[in-house]
Structures are given as C-alpha cells and as structure tokens.
Amino acid sequence: MSCQNPERCAHQAASWKAQQERYVEIGEKVLAELRESLERGESNLRISYHGDTRQTDRCISGATIRMLVCDEAWPFWYYKNSYGIEKLELVGHVKAGEKKYRPIHVILIKNPGSDLWKVTTVYDPRSKEYKWGNNYQERKCFCK
C-alpha cells in the first residue's frame, strides 16, 4: 500500500503541520486534566469493546493502553469538531525486546457534556508506514 494521491496529501500535510503545534498544546492540557481525574480515582476512561477486539488482533493489551494513556504516551494531535466532539491522538513507544520499541497510536474521543474519554482505536502505525513522519508523530498521508 502507498499514498493514492501524493499531491493532495502533501497539500493537506502542510496545513496539518501548520496547525499541529497549537493543537498539541491544547491536547497536552486535555491529557493532563484526564490524568489528574484518573489519579483522583474518577473513572473517566473507557476502553470500548470495539477497541478490545482490535487490541486482540494487534497484540496490544488493555493494560498497555492504560499505561500509555495514564503515563507514557503524548499527544500529537487534538481536534474539536463543530458538534463539540473532541478527539485526542496519542503516540507512545512500548518495549518489545531489548533496545526494541514498538510505536503505538491511541485514539480517544469525548462527547460534548461528558467527562468520559473513550479509546476508539489502537494501532501500530508501522502497519501504514507511508502515512507517518517524524517518528510517527506527523501525518503525511490522508488517504483512507
């Protein structure tokens, strides 16, 4: 697999990158608030059934996801759409052997008026290597 429309994706990637710094700044605040609420014992994190199925397929455990969200991952994108739905995209690296790390992306969504963040997707971005740059923190291809 590769990019189906390099010209369009290069254009989109440039505007994505131009906004990334601002959105990451918001994402960092949002993630810090989620982590603080989890430390207070509030259960504001759900790993959905759909998410669980995917994790099994991709050998990423619920415990690993929890560790990434609670501790080790950092945001590379944040977005709030016109309906108020927030989306937080995290990247982390999981030890996969001596001096070997596996990159993992964790995608979370929160509905307006709710405090609950739901993990909707978890994947190893190396499965579509061509879509990412800068150590899997920068989106280069927007093809489906």
CA dist., res. 8 & res. 6, Å (int): 6
- Interface residue with Zn ion, options 2, 7, 9, 19 (CB under 5 A): 9
Residue 12 or 121: the one with the smaller Cβ distance to Zn ion is 12
Q: Is 13 in the site for Zn ion (CB under 5 A)?
A: no
Amino acid at 46: R
Single-letter amino acid code for the residue at 72:
E
The single-letter DSSP state of residue 1 is -
| Residues contacting Zn ion: total by CB under 5 A | 4
b (16+ CB within 10 A) / e for 107-139:
bbebeeeeeebbbbebbbbeeeeebbeeebbbb
141 binds Zn ion (CB under 5 A): yes
Q: How far apart are the C-alpha atoms of 20 and 89, rounded to whole Å?
A: 11
Q: Binding segment for Zn ion among 3-11, 22-30, 51-59, 63-71 (CB under 5 A)?
A: 3-11
Q: Is 65 in the site for Zn ion (CB under 5 A)?
A: no
The correct pick among 3, 38, 107, 109 for binding Zn ion (CB under 5 A) is 3
| Least distance in angstroms from the C-beta of 142 to Zn ion | 6
Residues that bind Zn ion (CB under 5 A): 3, 9, 141, 143
